[in-house]
Structure 1
Amino acid sequence: MRPVLFDGRFGWLHPAEGASGVVLCYPFGYDALCTYRGMRRLAERLAAHGMPVLRFDYLGTGDAAGEGAAPGCWRAWIDSIKQAVALLRETTGVERVTLCGLRLGGTLAALAAQELGGMDGLVLLAPVLSGKTYQRELRAHYRQWLSMPGALDCEVEPDTDAFVEAYGFRLYRDALESLRAVDLQRDAGWPAERVLVLDSLDPARVDALVAHYREQRVQVERQSFDEYGKFMLESLDSEIPQAAFRSIEDWLTRATGEPVARVSQATDCDADSRAGRIAEPMTDHVGDHAAGHCVEPGVIETPVWLDGGRMFGIYCTPESQAARAAPAVLMVNTGAVSRIGNARLAVRFARRLARQGVVSLRVDLGGLGDSQPSLDALSLDALYSQAGADDAACAARWLTAQGHRGAVLFGICAGAFVGLHAASREPAVIGAVLVNLQKFTWRNTCDEHGKPSVQLAALGSTRRYLRSMCQPRKWLRVVRGQTGGLPVARELTARFAARLGATFADRIERMCGIQLGLKDEQHLFTALHARGVDTRLLYGALDEGVEELERNFGGRGGRLRRFDRIGVAFCERTDHAILSARAQENVMSYFEDFFRSTFGETRRPEPSVAVEPLDARLDWRHARATRWLLKRARALRLSGEA
């Protein structure tokens, strides 16, 4: 596959030698994050059947230029599909094109096909049939997220007509007005000669749509999409809908009547074609930015391959070449999410840094995003493996090879774990900001199917267990034998013993200078200190990772104060995955202050975290009550019926 740039859009061409091609149309927002791995796998499977495939990001999404708040966004999305069809025809020479879209991408594909006319085929995967219904669905998703433990203490967005938010992604007024008027049956009455619909969400409406198409003499085939629920899970848990993908393959190959063709390993495309251009493939150097493109005034982004084409990244630079000598920021994946980050944080942050003259690389570690090889499934063990740290170290070395004075790592959750281990041993890493780090070390917990083989409750918070012990209904369940109290007691005993042992060892070291059995967690920070890596641990005030921090390093990480290059900070109004707008601003501002004060030309004292504490927002009585209620709500939400 090869990166493609056209009119500010970024995408991927999966070349093949057939006469029929496919344009894949992503869903919107969080749906696109969940299904990114699956959509890539679908593109690869279709290319293996001899069909060239183009998948791409709409304006203001993914790695494309622009922001979702730009006027005319809805029109631009439809037009970008039409441009993608033209690019696929021009660069591959295909005679027939099918559009395949998931959720909102299916709706956009149908509308674009209606305008284009003469489309060979259209595949609709659980399409959005009514814009009004979809907006209500997004609002419901936001309310659902607010009830999750990871959203504790986040700043709730107002219920306004200016935008609709779900999991950090927003549709703004301009797009909302256009979407609200959409009715797929009315607006795409004859989108293509052949249509395949896979849907199990709204049978009555789908029946009406299929009947309407048949009245218009469209060849329609309808199938169920029973795997939809497992496909739309968060990116780590999302399962490839094998049956649905086989149905699409069969439907498309039946139409072509051609035998399965071998995937072409290289396609000689004109790099300066009129519709778009193919970026330089498989290169470990940037050269003269021949493959780069301007995503906004003064900001250039270049798709790059690292480690011989195994890892993929986007190198974001200001136009000024002077920034090449300064340290660069290395952004690693958040969990199993692609390089754009949750709520597109990595993209927005990279371009914000470039406007300040700071270079960055947002990279897909091995097996994630668009790095090689693509995988059908992922596990926690894979995300927390040392291979990920090795990949991050490789990306840091790549940055130094471009002339940078080193790499400053930025990672969230599992990305923070990867960053910590890479920073502890890679000389090219000179700094790190690790956000909501959940575990300092990891021992494999997954079975052969990639599922945790230990009870997840054992990984929970001590505060959760203690608050559960204060609830009579919990003791009643133990007495009735409905739940086991002994495993919980053992877990708590082990945790308190570990904490007492760590406290005792710390006291002995302070008084006598004798180190008693340093743990792996302590070795990591000793290594960071010895190498002189400026490191900051940043936590949301109510994040679960604080439990791990305090268990190993005392209240608020106090035992880390002995290391003068390691600091710990806490942010109010900061959710775990950094999805809310306030949380994103907190994290970006903190990183910028840290970077300027530590690696700027003129060093100055590092400012404190610019957040508003509860005590400043409320009088002291209300502040204490609010903090107690928040923590109790957190414990109750996490405890469930365990």
Structure 2
Amino acid sequence: MKPVLFEGCAGWLHEAAGTTGVVLCNPHGHEAMWSHRAFRHLAADLAAAGLPVLRFDYPGTGDSAGTDADGEHIAWCVHGILGAVAALREQAGVSRVVLCGLRLGATLAVLAAEALAAREPDVVAGLVLLAPVVSGRAYLRELRALHTSWVNNVIPDIELTPPTDGSLDVLAYRFQPDTVTTLEGLRLARRRGCPAPRVLLLDAWPGATSPVAEMGTLYRASGAEVTLGTFGEYPGMMQAAEYAQVPESAWQEVLAWVRPAVAAGRRCAAPGLPAPGNESPALECEVDGVREKRVWLDRGRQFGILCQPARRGASDVAVLFPNTGGNHHVGDGRVFVSLSRELARHGVTALRLDLSTLGDSPAPARQMSIPAVYAQSACDDASAAVDWLRAQGYKRIVMSGVCSGAFISLHVALRNPAVNGLVLANLAKFRWDDADTAAVNERVQSMRGYVAAVRRAQNWQRLWRGQVKVWPILSGFVRRCTRRVVQRGAAAVARWRGGDDTTTVTGFARAAMRELDRRGVQTDFLYGMSDIGLEEAKDRFGSNLEALQGLGNIRVRTLPTFDHSLFLADSRAALGAHLVRYLEVQLARGEPVEVSEDGAGALADAVSGTASA
């Protein structure tokens, strides 16, 4: 697997010896984020079966250049697929290609295949259409419902002003007005003919009125060889990345369908691959006014993109962004791409990192879970990345993460004295213990969030229609209140005995803040006003955060529009603005104070222990 760059698009080439290759066409927005691991493993499986595969980010998405606000986004995505086909033919030496798309990516694959058929009729060997969007209007209706549900249930206390320019917000992504207009008029079943001789359709919602089945009938009438199957694993795949599953049966069906293409031709050997860490033209590029370099670190176990100022002679400050949850290094709403490029334009280097089990690292896990996200090994990986940055000559290292990324950043800073600063967004846990693992499937909301949700008329309407399951919410609420009482009691007993007991979460959190303050690690906490993390902080430090008084290097800031996952554009902008201000202070400082490895030794031992409360 090697990085490639073509026409401003960033991608990966999974090499094999076949003369027929596969271009993977991503879905859009949150669906691309959630399915990244599944598509990564599909690419690896296809390459292992003998087909060269190219997967990539459309223009204005992922690690590619530009933004999705550049206009004519659908047309640019189709153009990107055509560029990917050309790149695959040139770099892998294939003569024919299969276009494999998921959701809107399947729709774009059809449009690209039509364009190719008009120019070179024999290039497209087949189409693999996974849960394709047949009706753009129905797709938009589904997206609107999803976003409305998220607003009502997750951020009921934040008042939002819907866009008035015809654009559509869907979780962390915005569909621009021209994209919405194009999708409104998109009807695959009304297009003429079939642009490929063979088609595999996997239907996530089969039935007598399925538009996918109708599409298959039309393609058969056009003379194509059509295989229609079901995609029962789709719901398991299309969920938040830390829960998302690889659809193993569906991928086996895809492999079986493309196997004739493997048998049709095979070169003597695949082109040579550069070893991870070796230079190649695609490893470093200029994009959006900055320089980006693909790097492998920690003995080749982890992958990252080092984003640097375009001009040489950058500052000695570097920012490290670890993964959020199970997401790959791009982040929801491209938050880490946007932030790292903005910081580079301010003269600061940033590394957006994939831990060893995530994203585009060489050996990502096929399964992910919340406990794995918070595991000791994740903190070890990020600490190795800090050491790598120091070895590159960066003397001041700031870690910044969101939710679980904030957790990882905090724990790395406690263990690794090379960390000089922290900017932590919506840290929800100070330590992960057995009780957290047991409660991992509970739906969690802050007290303020519960109150705001109760006040929303839409939620009562959903309750009366039977669309809300009350018991899981109530039982989770009761268990959470019980844990809070137990934790506060344990902390009070520890203080009564003469100090903070670091075996308790409260004692550990307070000791951690004192240690960071002693070492001069400027630690900024950012919270939404009703975020569950702010409630956790008040549980640990007092309702007015009084336990933090006198700690000059520890600051807590609450923001009115700052959702937990930073789906809102205003939330991402707030983090960016704070980080820029924070780094301006860092740049004005002198050399960092060197701290010995023993500085955090006692607390580091407590980190790896199990909290009792």
The TM-score with structure 1 as length reference comes to 0.82
SS of aligned partner of 1:120 = strand
CA distance in 2, matches of 1:557, 1:454: 26
Matched, 1:230 2:220: no
Describe the superposition over 1:456-487 as per-residue Cα deviations: whole angstroms up to 9, x where unpaired: 5597657789999xxxxxxxxxxxxx999999
The answer for the alignment partner of 1:36 in structure 2 is: 36
What pairs with 1:169-184 in structure 2 (closer than 5 Å)?
A: 169-184=173-188
CA distance in 2, matches of 1:180, 1:572: 34
The answer for the alignment partner of 2:129 in structure 1 is: 124
Shift of 1:546: 1.7
Pick from 563, 566, 578 the counterpart of residue 590 of structure 1.
Answer: 578
Q: Summarize the Cα distance change of 1:73–1:420 in structure 2 as closer, same or farther, 3 Å threshold.
A: same
The answer to whether the Cα contact below 8 Å between 1:9 and 1:57 also exists between their aligned partners in 2 is yes
CA distance in 1, matches of 2:477, 2:150: 28
Q: Summarize the Cα distance change of 1:3–1:445 in structure 2 as closer, same or farther, 3 Å threshold.
A: farther
The answer for the alignment partner of 2:219 in structure 1 is: 213
The answer to whether the Cα contact below 8 Å between 2:500 and 2:511 also exists between their aligned partners in 1 is no
Q: Partner letter of residue 129 of structure 1?
A: V
Q: Summarize the Cα distance change of 1:121–1:138 in structure 2 as closer, same or farther, 3 Å threshold.
A: same
Q: Partner letter of residue 21 of structure 1?
A: G
The answer for the alignment partner of 2:499 in structure 1 is: 515
Further displaced range: 9-18 or 287-296: 287-296
Shift of 1:249: 0.5
SS of aligned partner of 1:349 = helix
Describe the superposition over 1:556-609 as per-residue Cα deviations: whole angstroms up to 9, x where unpaired: 422122322111111111111011111111221122222212343599xxxxxx
The answer for the alignment partner of 1:142 in structure 2 is: 147
SS of aligned partner of 2:307 = strand
Matched, 1:101 2:101: yes
Pick from 311, 321, 342 the counterpart of residue 320 of structure 1.
Answer: 311
Q: Partner letter of residue 340 of structure 1?
A: V
SS of aligned partner of 1:409 = strand
Shift of 1:420: 0.4
What pairs with 1:298-377 in structure 2 (closer than 5 Å)?
A: 299-323=290-314, 325-377=315-367
Pick from 137, 143, 167 the counterpart of residue 171 of structure 2.
Answer: 167
Further displaced range: 21-30 or 325-334: 325-334
CA distance in 2, matches of 1:259, 1:90: 17
Shift of 1:129: 0.7
Pick from 254, 262, 269 the counterpart of residue 248 of structure 1.
Answer: 254
Q: Partner letter of residue 292 of structure 1?
A: E
CA distance in 1, matches of 2:564, 2:472: 29
Shift of 1:492: 4.5
Shift of 1:156: 1.8
Shift of 1:455: 7.2
Matched, 1:239 2:275: no
Further displaced range: 340-349 or 134-143: 134-143
Shift of 1:307: 1.3
The answer to whether the Cα contact below 8 Å between 1:194 and 1:219 also exists between their aligned partners in 2 is yes
The answer to whether the Cα contact below 8 Å between 1:48 and 1:261 also exists between their aligned partners in 2 is no
Q: Summarize the Cα distance change of 1:592–1:245 in structure 2 as closer, same or farther, 3 Å threshold.
A: same
CA distance in 1, matches of 2:474, 2:549: 37
The answer for the alignment partner of 1:496 in structure 2 is: 485
The answer to whether the Cα contact below 8 Å between 1:381 and 1:445 also exists between their aligned partners in 2 is no
Q: Summarize the Cα distance change of 1:423–1:455 in structure 2 as closer, same or farther, 3 Å threshold.
A: closer
CA distance in 1, matches of 2:438, 2:449: 21
Q: Partner letter of residue 539 of structure 2?
A: R
The answer for the alignment partner of 1:624 in structure 2 is: none
CA distance in 2, matches of 1:335, 1:491: 21
Please list every run of 5 or more consecutive structure 1 residues that lacks an aligned counterpart in the other structure.
270-279, 447-451, 469-481, 604-642
Q: Partner letter of residue 258 of structure 2?
A: L
Q: Summarize the Cα distance change of 1:485–1:315 in structure 2 as closer, same or farther, 3 Å threshold.
A: closer
The answer for the alignment partner of 1:61 in structure 2 is: 61
CA distance in 1, matches of 2:129, 2:156: 36
The answer for the alignment partner of 1:626 in structure 2 is: none
Shift of 1:97: 1.0
CA distance in 2, matches of 1:136, 1:65: 29
CA distance in 1, matches of 2:441, 2:488: 21
Describe the superposition over 1:290-348 as per-residue Cα deviations: whole angstroms up to 9, x where unpaired: 73212113x1111111112211111111112221x421111111111111111111111
The answer for the alignment partner of 1:21 in structure 2 is: 21
CA distance in 2, matches of 1:389, 1:440: 13
Q: Partner letter of residue 548 of structure 1?
A: E
Matched, 1:581 2:569: yes
CA distance in 1, matches of 2:188, 2:544: 54
What pairs with 1:536-615 in structure 2 (closer than 5 Å)?
A: 536-600=524-588
Aligned Cα root-mean-square deviation (Å): 3.1
CA distance in 2, matches of 1:484, 1:120: 50
SS of aligned partner of 2:431 = coil
The answer to whether the Cα contact below 8 Å between 2:18 and 2:265 also exists between their aligned partners in 1 is no
The answer to whether the Cα contact below 8 Å between 1:549 and 1:556 also exists between their aligned partners in 2 is no
Shift of 1:358: 1.5
Q: Summarize the Cα distance change of 1:191–1:488 in structure 2 as closer, same or farther, 3 Å threshold.
A: closer
CA distance in 1, matches of 2:105, 2:474: 49
Shift of 1:527: 2.8
Q: Partner letter of residue 587 of structure 1?
A: L
The answer to whether the Cα contact below 8 Å between 1:331 and 1:411 also exists between their aligned partners in 2 is yes
Further displaced range: 537-546 or 168-177: 168-177
CA distance in 1, matches of 2:530, 2:175: 29
The answer to whether the Cα contact below 8 Å between 2:3 and 2:282 also exists between their aligned partners in 1 is no
Shift of 1:494: 5.6
The answer to whether the Cα contact below 8 Å between 1:546 and 1:556 also exists between their aligned partners in 2 is no
Q: Partner letter of residue 295 of structure 1?
A: V
Q: Partner letter of residue 352 of structure 1?
A: E
SS of aligned partner of 2:24 = strand
SS of aligned partner of 1:551 = helix
CA distance in 1, matches of 2:192, 2:9: 25
The answer to whether the Cα contact below 8 Å between 1:399 and 1:406 also exists between their aligned partners in 2 is no
CA distance in 2, matches of 1:314, 1:490: 41
Matched, 1:534 2:526: no
CA distance in 2, matches of 1:222, 1:166: 30
Further displaced range: 414-423 or 386-395: 386-395
SS of aligned partner of 1:377 = coil
Q: Partner letter of residue 179 of structure 1?
A: L
Q: Summarize the Cα distance change of 1:533–1:205 in structure 2 as closer, same or farther, 3 Å threshold.
A: same
Shift of 1:255: 4.2
Further displaced range: 455-464 or 546-555: 455-464
| Count of residue correspondences | 565
Q: Partner letter of residue 229 of structure 1?
A: P
The answer to whether the Cα contact below 8 Å between 2:30 and 2:171 also exists between their aligned partners in 1 is yes
Q: Summarize the Cα distance change of 1:556–1:335 in structure 2 as closer, same or farther, 3 Å threshold.
A: farther
CA distance in 2, matches of 1:343, 1:235: 14
Pick from 387, 390, 393 the counterpart of residue 383 of structure 2.
Answer: 393
CA distance in 2, matches of 1:342, 1:23: 24
The answer to whether the Cα contact below 8 Å between 1:152 and 1:542 also exists between their aligned partners in 2 is no
The answer for the alignment partner of 1:267 in structure 2 is: 271
Q: Partner letter of residue 282 of structure 1?
A: P
CA distance in 2, matches of 1:301, 1:575: 29
